[in-house]
Structure 1
């Protein structure tokens, strides 16, 4: 029996170039709530950004943000993962050596950048609509707990991913997230471990959970749940981690709801 549905956002609920969710999803979430089924928005995005996307139903769902480093509901932090500061500074300084890569450091209150690159700023301010603070130097001026470090890659995300995995994968997870991003996720924090902790707190068994994803930052979440779906345009190899492939999360939720009403 399905008791929880979790979905990634970029590339899953939102296709490339889309900036707003299908309004039908909000009605689905209301129906799921009436049926006692929990909905979880799970993304590499900032919490404030995800909450804004789901504004019509924001008080009806759970949020897993920053690729699992933060879990919130009703503006209350339930779980938080932090990157050890010396490791975070080492990563930031290595990123600062690399051309054509912009860096964003996520804390609980805002994301921090030092770049004034027009394309990067457009992505953060206009597309993602993040809460952004510009500083002179990320390695020196970010004082709060660091939940995630994200790289906006202008050229080849795979080359950037390979480079930083070779340097840091023994100490921290380095994964693709969306179409142009490479993320460093707090050790032991990912969408899967955070979803598992949330499900346990709600007394929901993994076999009663469904998840949707498209990128390698969704792997642990798909592995945790009883039923996993990857998108038909998912990253190469992602189908290995799920039982089903789909073109539309909304269509699949419609089918789930129809099954509940039989």
Structure 2
């Protein structure tokens, strides 16, 4: 059995931000052949399960929040690397001071800042709606300490995002990722897709040399570093293309499906 693991946004999704019929068919064929297909993303588990349902997946591990949390096949937690409560509280206070949207993701919970355009955009992109409680209630109740977030997504004007990014550059315990000028993802510096994939391989009893990883962006490089075969979609960042074992077609041209089809045809 081989384990195939894929990033989602920028790698697996088509132009409509979902799985194409070709990708669904290729993943189903892979599973039918006895292999395992695992999703790995900065997304929350709920959003990832919606995609799994399209190819009738499930009962396999999930790597959410870029390795901030890894769920076993039975949905129990195998790896848990949240942001430190003190850092999470400081990030909340910075968002409050700047009047900047901060979405706080803890396990299966999403505490949005408000019912604003940023929340609506994320709900549309991921298919998931936030908790009824806002980030302010998450903070005021103390749950930000007892159940700290695995990810914070700051969203707003680029100049405000600049301020948060510069402030956190001096906090070694967190890592930031600027997915676009108006988006800043924040996580514990100790979490990575590579560590998440190593946890999955251990659970499944598979050598990392027998694992494949599809990716497109810088946060995929730690996974590329530990697997036997790293596959970049052709729209990937230059550093990712350079690190890849193989380059397949771009995400909007079903690059992941193309690779899986060729793998099944020759194996």
TM-score (normalizing by structure 2): 0.83
Query: How many angstroms does 1:160 deviate by?
Result: 6.5
On the 8 A contact 1:206/1:226 being kept in 2, the answer is yes
C-alpha separation in 2, matches of 1:239 and 1:227: 13
C-alpha separation in 2, matches of 1:49 and 1:146: 16
Residue correspondence of structure 1 range 124-203 to structure 2 within 5 A? 124-133=122-131, 134-135=133-134, 137=136, 139-141=139-141, 143=143, 144-155=147-158, 159=162, 163-168=166-171, 170-177=172-179, 181-203=183-205
C-alpha separation in 2, matches of 1:175 and 1:29: 29
1:233 maps to which residue?
235
Query: How many angstroms does 1:258 deviate by?
Result: 1.1
C-alpha separation in 2, matches of 1:156 and 1:241: 32
Q: For the aligned residues, what is the CA RMSD?
A: 2.7
TM-score (normalizing by structure 1): 0.85
Determine if the alignment matches structure 1 residue 244 to structure 2 residue 242. no
Deviations 1:52-109 (A, max 9, x none): 122142325432111111222344333322222111111222233446x521111113
On the 8 A contact 1:106/1:146 being kept in 2, the answer is yes
C-alpha separation in 2, matches of 1:178 and 1:55: 28
Shift in alpha-carbon separation, 1:222–1:177, aligned structure 2, 3 A: farther
Q: Which runs of 5+ in 1 are unaligned?
A: none
Number of matched residues? 255
Which deviates the most, 221-230 or 38-47? 221-230
C-alpha separation in 2, matches of 1:43 and 1:174: 15
Shift in alpha-carbon separation, 1:21–1:149, aligned structure 2, 3 A: same
Shift in alpha-carbon separation, 1:193–1:160, aligned structure 2, 3 A: farther
Q: Which runs of 5+ in 2 are unaligned?
A: none
Query: How many angstroms does 1:188 deviate by?
Result: 2.2
